[in-house]
Amino acid sequence: MFAPNRYPLLFLTVFVLVVGSLGCDGSTPTEPDRDIPDVDPFEMNARLARGVNFGNALEAPREGEWGITLDARQFQRAKEAGFNTIRLPVRWSNHASSTAPYTIDASFFNRVDWAINQALSRDMNVILNVHHYEEMASNPRDHRDRWLGLWKQIAEHYRNYDENLLFELLNEPNNQLTASLWNEFLDACIQEIRLTNPTRNLIVGPVFWNNTNSLPQLQLPADDDNLIVTIHFYEPFMFTHQGAEWVNGADAWLGTQWFGTTQDQAFVTNILERAAAWGTTNNRPLFLGEFGAYSQADMFSRVRWTDYVAREAERLGMSWSYWEFMSGFGIYNISNDSWNEALRDALLPPATTAVAKR
């Protein structure tokens, strides 16, 4: 029988361990229940390698509203093609209560679990983000606590998942979420996630839609060794976003081509090289989390641009994930289970996918 008065030190130790493992609301388990490998972020970034965004599905206001409902076959096709990673954009903010503790709908959590497991069970990495939390851009101070509350739940929910599930704090911080505010917010968010995921690799990017020009303003906690920095690249924008319905004035750019002349290439290379130099100086690995040219551009230009950007990213040591798999920028057609082969091969040149698949 356990008698506290006979074993005061043991009693104290047990008491400290139990109470210490509860969160401030007294209910939250903290550390994962098992050891999750602590992977060096450069090593993890090399594993991310070549990825694709499963966009327009879980970050639509409701899944299906933007024409994409996820199913197992899509994950199977991405795997067969040779992608190493799925970036999964998720609009959590539409599936959680508006008051503390901002409870996320259990059925939505189940759906995200299913999607993550589809990729993990096929031995692909998953990047799970918070996408289209638009109020974070228009009114960040009022939404900070809710955003942190969402991460508290997400981080705890997935704390026992393998290291090949990565969290990305917020897609494309912009507008009122200025660099100084974002630096403060990301620090608080990383602290929150670290309570339950001490070593999981996290992905975070600069303001102004993860623009490479904003990298110098990004300040990361110096003592956190499990961070990967993301950038998005859609330059020249008038080429990649011609005819995009969600961009004002984009119809005027229709017909813009990308020939890949020396000058065209230098423009792209210059931007990516400057980003890579920031990574080297700051000792952080870089993940090109989105790049792509919309379907209104001509196919030859899209293929040339996509091939060039992907190869340059690889040359500069970046992992990447194409925007996106099966919608307006897509490379796979869900309606008849067919590929846009030229674009797929631009991303995953057939001679190299055997290596990528390993």
Q: Residue 116 contacts by C-beta under 8 Å, 6 or more apart in sequence?
A: 88, 126, 128, 158, 161, 165
- Least Cα distance to 85 among 55, 29, 58, 124 occurs for 124
Of these residues, 59, 192, 290, 312, which one is catalytic? 290
Distance of CA 290 to the CA centre of its chain: 9
What span, in angstroms and rounded, lies between the C-alpha atoms of 289 and 34?
A: 29
| Nearer Cβ to ligand GLC (172/264) | 172
Looking at 163, 290, 312, 345, which residue binds ligand GLC (CB under 6 A)? Answer: 290
Site for ligand GLC in 60-79 (CB under 6 A): none
330 three-state secondary structure: coil
Count of chain residues binding ligand GLC (CB under 6 A): 4
Whether 59 sits among the annotated catalytic residues: the reply is no
CB of 4 to ligand GLC, least distance (A): 56
In angstroms, the Cα distances linking 304 to 10, 71, 237, 255 are 67, 30, 15, 15
290 is catalytic: yes
Footprint of ligand GLC on residues 166-205 (CB under 6 A)?
Answer: 171-172
Minimum Å gap between C-beta 300 and ligand GLC is 21
Residue 223 beta carbon to ligand GLC: minimum distance, rounded to whole angstroms: 30
Q: CB 351 → ligand GLC: shortest distance, Å?
A: 29
How far, in Å, are 82, 325, 341, 354, 358 from residue 72 at the CA level?
A: 16, 14, 21, 23, 21
Q: Which is nearer to ligand GLC, 133 or 161 (by Cβ)?
A: 133
Closest CA to 25 of 104, 93, 97, 102: 102
Considering beta carbons, is residue 125 or 171 the nearer one to ligand GLC?
171
Give the whole-angstrom CA distance, residue 258 versus residue 323. Answer: 18
Closer residue to ligand GLC, CB minimum distance, 201 or 242: 242
Contacts with ligand GLC by CB under 6 A lie at 171-172, 290, 323
Catalytic residue numbers, as ranges: 172, 290
